[in-house]
Structure 1
């Protein structure tokens, strides 16, 4: 479909970017697909009538190609109208945008190879799956059949997990002068003050010779009514290598959702480039100076195995801790609140925890269950992958443990410091033992460093011979590795399918899918340490139905998450499938959190999720009883991100001892309502707006099976909204935002 002379917008680098008055051809529909590999499939004359229709923007695993790894080809017939060339004020090349492709690709136009995304050695088997594919062809290139039938053929290779053309945009257009202008506010985070938001913005040019000169307009927009509540215009000039930087402070009337719009108009071409981002707003109230005990209310340990728990508490320092009823074998450090030791006798023990300071004291019951099950609440911690990727090191892990304490996250129940891929040496020791590489000089010493802070440490491996990053896996060394992990003091193992796909049958049955995890389960039974077992195989074979039977404490239900609305929402709002299988000791894992500064190592950027989308992300993951693993650089936590991660009433939804996972109870238009049963008889309810505009929504309390008057509490703001019965009318839910409530019977 051809669109002409209207405002076009898409998401890139965390912003909505818009170009004016540019013609385009949509490539969203009409694609065909075939598994396998044959270069003859690039030819325009090839007959693809027998190929299956497929949607782009969704992995092929979601479209009937379960667990398929390898080559696949997409083909599309499209008319390229010559009128495209007249739709641009400054015509350039034909631009073909094909979104993101997992993992690598080659692209052909009418049989001519016009580009590829491949690894360092040129193989598309190692392509950058998160890179946007944009290919350019000169207007006079004979490969283009103007006003005729054209064939775009895309050769894809997927080495593991999800595959295919998984995220747009998909379109044809002509490059324009605006292609060379980038508005970048992402290099600077927001500085938030009383009704103010300050930051810097940078304008770049990628044009070799053109010098842009014009005006930069900044405006704060209220999404409730679309009105501008603050604006400013300044002159701007820049060229390649000579950026324009501007620092400003905008006025923000209230602590709620607002948008900041940047518009640069070039005086010579009279064309605009616009970027829009959300302004962060903090809802979490600061913790009071009086003592308060936070975090999980229950913990599991196997008899005779080491126990480690740091009491999460807030309040003005110094705090003092005590515990009445500790079972034999455990001891408490009254200054740090760290409980250590082991319990020989199986049983359930109720311990009365007390924390005090000069302002008062707080007391909570805490249950310790010595038995067969651990992970009685979902894991809360940090994982290195989403920020450091394969560049993780001993120093970065220590810095993360330090930040967990210094930023106060330990006071809210965050516990694990997990090392992902990239710690192993190229070869094993002579006796077959796994050995760390030069980035990790002493894993036992590192584990002790983490444990001394009252935190737990995790590690990563694969049941295959190699990890996803090409490091050593545990294949045929499972028991040896388990014993090594226990000797080091490891508390958590992420076990990633990766190269085991080359060991398993091509289309593995249930027994073959379970086999590598059963082997490691057997190894864990032979060590004297509890190791949280995290299965990472992307949901193959409905792992949520059998993960418990192979010793899993949590299991990935999906492919890797990215810091985009499409990725996060597609994953999060599909979790109803696995909901019945979540329970204490067994958790569905929709992957790590993508808030803060992420980047998959070593270069980081601010998450591309808007503030409203981040509220949705945390709220939904807590409703889903998901493991909460921070994926950002914790040493660079800003106030907004910290507020997302330290709201105890929100985190309590995730850590509720009942272990229930939320279900979708209502859907109307762009509104979805999810509800979760809590141990105290109340319900946690998320009212989500998946649409592009702020809207109102009705919550029918009868859909929650609640009768009589109910007290509704806004969990992010930690405020009671009042007592209601029948229908509650929620107002002004932001686009991609949420209202997170606790619904409980009103006191008489």
Structure 2
């Protein structure tokens, strides 16, 4: 009888949680932000090597993900092969696994990917089987040309067009989720459909482990800040096995300042966002390494409590975000989005902390002592002061 009472709860768990993958936000590297369509087998092997040699693997970065443009053509049986840039995908996957890392790949539910390579449309089970044979551990599934199919179907019934598009999109992601599960190989499923149709409300039920909440990020403070700070209000939808995804990291790609990159890394960690580096790992500066490899910042993102942070105060260009952590701790980000340095204060009660707490400046790696009620810091333009309250 006890088993029967528990069964409905087990069935109600998101499929992602039942599969026991992505119990913390995935960490790793993706090829797109730096290499885009130029990525090759050699680039991916070099990234895997650098993840190990730089200390990124030890810090938790384990996924090596190939984005678009690896795809070739299908043979007479419909099996998808790689193009000349990737002569042997199984061998590449084996190489990544030999480093103690995991292997990710990319596709689309449409006939073509966003870069107009072969998609998985009407070949979902066949492609999932191929990915499993290659040893794939992570699949990013990008809506791309499937939007055309959605729009054409909606145009036949304009009165119900929005509903039709929503249903078709959900069916496409359900189909690939079922196909992956049928292979018997656990794979992280990343939905990339740009936050349409409040994806955070339905993706977990389809087996999604993470889902993009916005359009693509670019290596600029404007893009990063617009995406990152727009995540306010989404915290309740994230948790072990299912995460909001504000897109990949731009740290180290060169078009933001160190202060801005620290803001980027701090905000993503407070958001319990996937941490997928997008730079050339073989050419990282010490400054880039100091940001991507900061273990205290990573620990905030990966905290076992599995809670996403949220905005707790804002006035003009100044914002305070807080993330509940295990053992009653709270991580707090004091953000200054203006062009001049400014003082930013946090009231501990607003952050969900006790009135008297020990305060640590995370980036400075400095204990600031016990504080009562609130704390104020001078924050650089486009900068952050990241605090641990305990």
TM-score over 0.5 for the alignment?
yes
Aligned partner of 1:570 among 208, 222, 226: 226
Q: Does 1:591 align with 2:260?
A: no
Provide Cα deviations, 1:673-693, integer angstroms capped at 9, x if missing partner.
Answer: 000111221101000001110
Q: Report the RMSD for the aligned CA atoms in angstroms.
A: 1.5
> How far, CA to CA, are the matches of 2:215 and 2:362 in structure 1?
30
TM-fit CA distance, 1:528: 1.8
> How far, CA to CA, are the matches of 1:492 and 1:708 in structure 2?
43
SS at match of 2:214: coil
Q: Does 1:372 align with 2:19?
A: yes
TM-fit CA distance, 1:429: 1.1
> How far, CA to CA, are the matches of 2:352 and 2:300 in structure 1?
19
Provide Cα deviations, 1:208-240, integer angstroms capped at 9, x if missing partner.
Answer: xxxxxxxxxxxxxxxxxxxxxxxxxxxxxxxxx
Q: Does 1:556 align with 2:212?
A: yes
- 1:630 — aligned with what? 277
Provide Cα deviations, 1:33-61, integer angstroms capped at 9, x if missing partner.
Answer: xxxxxxxxxxxxxxxxxxxxxxxxxxxxx
Provide Cα deviations, 1:615-651, integer angstroms capped at 9, x if missing partner.
Answer: 1000000000000111111111000001001111100
Query: What is the correspondence of 1:70-89 to structure 2 with a 5 Å cutoff?
Result: none
> How far, CA to CA, are the matches of 2:386 and 2:274 in structure 1?
19
- 2:382 — aligned with what? 736
- 1:404 — aligned with what? 51
Gaps of 5+ in 2: 1-15, 155-160
TM-fit CA distance, 1:709: 1.7
Q: TM-score, normalised by structure 1?
A: 0.48
Query: What is the correspondence of 1:200-599 to structure 2 with a 5 Å cutoff?
Result: 371-425=18-72, 427-504=73-150, 505-506=153-154, 507-509=161-163, 510-597=166-253
Provide Cα deviations, 1:104-126, integer angstroms capped at 9, x if missing partner.
Answer: xxxxxxxxxxxxxxxxxxxxxxx
Provide Cα deviations, 1:117-169, integer angstroms capped at 9, x if missing partner.
Answer: xxxxxxxxxxxxxxxxxxxxxxxxxxxxxxxxxxxxxxxxxxxxxxxxxxxxx
Kindly report structure 1 stretches of 4+ aligned residues shifted beyond 6 Å.
Answer: none
SS at match of 1:697: strand
Contact preservation (8 Å) 2:330, 2:352: no
> How far, CA to CA, are the matches of 2:331 and 2:84 in structure 1?
47
Contact preservation (8 Å) 2:30, 2:64: yes
> How far, CA to CA, are the matches of 1:496 and 1:711 in structure 2?
44
- 2:256 — aligned with what? 609
Gaps of 5+ in 1: 1-368, 598-605
> How far, CA to CA, are the matches of 2:60 and 2:315 in structure 1?
35
Q: TM-score, normalised by structure 2?
A: 0.91
Q: Does 1:656 align with 2:303?
A: yes
Name whichever structure is richer in strand by fraction. Answer: 1
> How far, CA to CA, are the matches of 2:47 and 2:355 in structure 1?
48
> How far, CA to CA, are the matches of 1:528 and 1:518 in structure 2?
16
> How far, CA to CA, are the matches of 1:611 and 1:708 in structure 2?
33
SS at match of 1:375: coil
SS at match of 1:728: strand
How many correspondences in the alignment?
Answer: 366
Q: How has the CA–CA distance of structure 1 residues 474 and 571 changed in structure 2, closer, same or farther, with 3 Å as cutoff?
A: same
SS at match of 1:555: strand
Q: Does 1:725 align with 2:381?
A: no
- 1:360 — aligned with what? none
SS at match of 1:485: helix
Q: Does 1:672 align with 2:319?
A: yes
SS at match of 1:498: coil
Contact preservation (8 Å) 2:67, 2:106: yes
> How far, CA to CA, are the matches of 1:397 and 1:372 in structure 2?
27
TM-fit CA distance, 1:370: 9.8
Q: Comparing both chains, which one has the higher relative contact order based on Cα–Cα distances under 8 Å and sequence gaps of 6 or more?
A: 2
SS at match of 2:71: coil
> How far, CA to CA, are the matches of 1:706 and 1:462 in structure 2?
43
Aligned partner of 2:336 among 689, 701, 722: 689
Q: How has the CA–CA distance of structure 1 residues 567 and 721 changed in structure 2, closer, same or farther, with 3 Å as cutoff?
A: same
Contact preservation (8 Å) 1:459, 1:492: yes
Q: How has the CA–CA distance of structure 1 residues 477 and 717 changed in structure 2, closer, same or farther, with 3 Å as cutoff?
A: same
Provide Cα deviations, 1:650-670, integer angstroms capped at 9, x if missing partner.
Answer: 000110111111111111232
> How far, CA to CA, are the matches of 2:325 and 2:233 in structure 1?
20
